[in-house]
């Protein structure tokens, strides 16, 4: 039975991927649900994340494709790029998606409240002057770009602003070594900017497979991105021609824009957490149990704000599991094994399962299969680009426990491989699967020779 002493059964703070899915599903089970959002419906993914990022990746790839086309017989001249057209067409598409989310919520009879919600106590939330009571509160406020303190920090921008710059940055410095930094380096390089990527570590994409990281550095350098590893920004100073960036190795670069992609932190500002007993982890995320419950019994949290795997489809799965368990009476848990992901750098990276280091630690003895080749398209286009593929096999069970690729369409290819791996496919199953010819994907079922042991 619902408790009708409260205005709502569920009050969701944040209308991003996780919050919207949880709200819709809970309402579908008959719960009275409200969602408060102080920015745009759809959260990071729709507004300043995956969606605009992928659109800009498509835009960036055209520049190379015009050049590729020449050896295929197309007399393609160097085309001029107009930033404002891309930016404004992207804005129109995002507005359309915001409206779609609004419709999805109103169609599910979820009350959408415009404004930043503040938790008053375990069963009450205030939005502006308005106070709402609720049986359960779900925090789904996601993450926020983090820029460290240093002299001139105020002159840097984050991924929140980069999509809507008034003027195209002809010279761009990107600081960071995660997938967001790597993707933007590819986007702006492809659109014609001179890009320098600055990372304090020896090699970017920490957490990815070691071979993928090395191959990515090689391929991205080939595209003309100026990669600077083991160096950091000391200061940023405005100069008449733009911004002067002083690096810790004493080098100076002059740019129009400095984009910081140095990580994201849980978006907890002004949430009123001091009014309740919600435990925050050392990394600044909301600590939750496997039912997404915080240390305050009536308050739950899911998605990026909990610091787990920060991917839209993971937040969606968590939102669904939460609603089913809390309002549908269904035991439903998210399985976090073999979650595929892609990095939309150029060429793309697709990955699922364990890295080589993780597999060695987990399984002990493993077999590796690797392949590097020129994509068929570029045998004629003349583009200097190599595809890399790698399979990691648990020696004892013959099960494929890791698949990694850098090359065109890696994200599309990896989705199907992820299904096979979740089903427990062995290397023998891969080997007896007939390939689709001619494709790059068939290489995954044609790798016969194990990589020699060290």
Three-state DSSP class for residue 214? helix
- Strand pairing class (242-247; 233-239): antiparallel
Closest alpha carbon to 303 in 144, 146, 141: 141
* Residue 64, H or E segment: helix 50-69
Closest alpha carbon to 335 in 356, 360, 355, 313: 313
Q: Rounded CA gap, 65 and 363, in Å?
A: 42
Active site residues: 437
Q: Rounded CA gap, 243 and 234, in Å?
A: 13
Closest alpha carbon to 366 in 338, 330, 403: 403
Please name the residue that has the structure tokens 């492809």.
190
Rg (CA), the chain: 24
Q: Rounded CA gap, 153 and 161, in Å?
A: 15
Q: Rounded CA gap, 277 and 116, in Å?
A: 20
- The residue ranges of DSSP E strands in 58-201, in sequence order, are 111-114, 117-121, 124-127, 130-139, 143-145, 171-175, 194-199
Q: What is the CB-side half-sphere exposure of residue 11 using CA atoms within 13 A?
A: 26
Transcribe 169-200 into DSSP letters.
-SEEEEE--SHHHHHHHHHHHHTT-EEEEEES
Q: Rounded CA gap, 238 and 300, in Å?
A: 44
Q: At what angle do helices 210-222 and 179-190 cross, to 10 degrees?
A: 20
Cβ neighbors of 438 (< 8 A, separation 6 or more) are: 376
**Cα-Cα-Cα-Cα dihedral of 285, 286, 287, 288, to 10°?**
-130
Contact 177, 199 (CB under 8 A): yes
Q: Rounded CA gap, 421 and 337, in Å?
A: 10
Closest alpha carbon to 53 in 343, 413, 351: 343
- The total of other beta-carbon atoms located within 10 Å of residue 78's CB is 9
């Amino acid at each position: 039975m619902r408790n009708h002493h409260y205005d709502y059964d569920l009050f969701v703070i944040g209308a991003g991927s996780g919050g919207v899915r949880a709200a819709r599903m809970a309402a579908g089970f008959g719960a009275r649900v409200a969602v408060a959002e102080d920015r745009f419906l759809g959260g990071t993914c729709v507004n300043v994340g995956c969606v605009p990022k992928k659109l800009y990746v498509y835009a960036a790839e055209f520049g190379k494709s015009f050049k590729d086309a020449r050896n295929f017989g197309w007399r393609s001249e160097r085309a001029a790029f107009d930033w404002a057209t891309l930016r404004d067409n992207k804005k129109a598409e995002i507005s359309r998606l915001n409206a779609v989310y609004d419709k999805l919520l109103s169609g599910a009879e979820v009350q959408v409240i415009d404004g930043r919600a503040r938790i008053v106590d375990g069963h009450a939330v205030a939005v502006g002057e308005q106070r709402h009571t609720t049986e359960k509160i779900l925090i789904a406020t996601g993450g926020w770009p983090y820029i460290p303190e240093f002299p001139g920090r105020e002159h840097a921008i984050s991924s929140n602003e980069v999509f809507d710059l008034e003027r195209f940055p002809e010279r761009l410095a990107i600081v960071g070594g995660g997938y967001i930094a790597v993707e933007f380096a590819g986007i702006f390089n492809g659109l014609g900017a001179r890009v320098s990527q600055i990372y304090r570590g020896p090699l970017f994409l920490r957490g990815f497979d070691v071979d993928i990281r090395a191959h990515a550095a090689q391929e991205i350098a080939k595209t003309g991105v100026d990669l600077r590893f083991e160096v950091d920004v000391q200061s940023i100073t405005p100069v008449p021609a733009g911004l002067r960036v002083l690096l810790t190795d004493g080098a100076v670069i002059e740019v129009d824009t400095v984009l910081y992609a140095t990580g994201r932190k849980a978006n907890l500002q002004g949430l009123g957490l001091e009014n309740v007993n919600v435990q925050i982890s050392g990394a600044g995320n909301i600590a939750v149990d496997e039912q997404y419950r915080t240390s305050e019994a009536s308050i739950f949290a899911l998605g990026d704000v909990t610091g787990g795997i920060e991917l839209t489809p993971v937040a969606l799965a968590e939102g669904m599991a939460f609603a089913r368990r809390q309002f549908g009476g269904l035991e439903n848990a998210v399985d976090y094994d073999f979650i595929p992901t892609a990095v939309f750098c150029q060429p793309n990276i697709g990955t699922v399962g364990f890295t080589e280091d993780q597999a060695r630690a987990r399984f002990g003895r493993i077999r590796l299969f690797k392949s590097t080749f020129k994509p068929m398209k570029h045998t004629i286009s003349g583009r200097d680009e190599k595809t890399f593929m790698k399979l990691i096999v648990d020696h004892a069970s013959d099960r494929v426990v890791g698949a990694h690729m850098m090359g065109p369409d890696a994200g599309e290819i990896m989705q199907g491989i992820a299904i096979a791996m979740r089903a427990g496919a062995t290397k023998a199953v891969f080997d007896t699967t007939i390939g689709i010819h001619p494709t790059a994907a068939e290489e995954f079922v044609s790798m016969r020779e194990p990589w020699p042991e060290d």
